[in-house]
Amino acid sequence: MDGKTYLTILRENNLQRSELVKLLEKQVIILAKNKMNNLAEETKWLAIVIAEQEKKQKYSFLNR
């Protein structure tokens, strides 16, 4: 999935880009630059799943 599709999924599901989700997004960029596209794709889906879980429990996994 491309970045536009990823952001659309987040927006349509009213998901927040928490600190942990943003960290995973940075990881996606690194993986893609190193041509590790399968891992980048898996990481995008992991970020979506985490955003869904954080929304459900009403707090972020990384709290300051």
pLDDT in tens, the chain (64 residues): 999 999 999 999 999 999 999 999 999 999 999 999 999 999 999 999 999 999 999 888 876 5
In a domain, 25, yes or no: yes
In a domain, 7, yes or no: yes
State how far the Cα of 12 lies from the Cα of 41, in Å rounded to an integer.
19
In a domain, 62, yes or no: no
pLDDT of residue 61: 81
Other C-beta atoms lying within 10 Å of the C-beta of residue 18: 19
In a domain, 31, yes or no: yes
pLDDT of residue 64: 57
Measuring CA to CA, which residue among 16, 10, 13, 30 is closest to residue 62?
Answer: 16
- The string of DSSP codes covering 4-24 is HHHHHHHHHTT----HHHHHH
In a domain, 64, yes or no: no
**Could you tell me the pTM of the whole model?**
0.91
In a domain, 45, yes or no: yes
Could you list the residue range(s) of the whole structural domain that residue 40 is in?
3-57
Structure tokens at 34: 């190193």
